[in-house]
Amino acid sequence: MARLHIMREDGKTPGRTGLCGQSATSTLKSTMVVLDPMPAVPPDGLLWCPGCLGGLADRAGVAGFLGQLLSAVGYPEPAAETRTLGG
State the DSSP string of the chain: -EEEPPBPSSSSSTTSBBTTS-B----SS------SSPPSSPPTTEEE-HHHHHHHHHHTT-HHHHHHHHHHH--PPPPGGGPPTT-
The pLDDT of residue 87 = 42
36/1: higher pLDDT:
36
The pLDDT of residue 50 = 92
64/25: higher pLDDT:
64
What is the tens place of the pLDDT at every residue in 26-48? 777 777 788 888 899 999 989 99
CA angle 27, 30, 33 (to 5 degrees): 105
Contact 29, 23 (CB under 8 A): no
* Nearest-angstrom CA–CA distance, 17 and 8: 6
The pLDDT of residue 79 = 67
* Nearest-angstrom CA–CA distance, 24 and 81: 22
Decide: pTM greater than 0.95: no
What is the tens place of the pLDDT at every residue in 62-82? 999 998 998 898 877 766 665
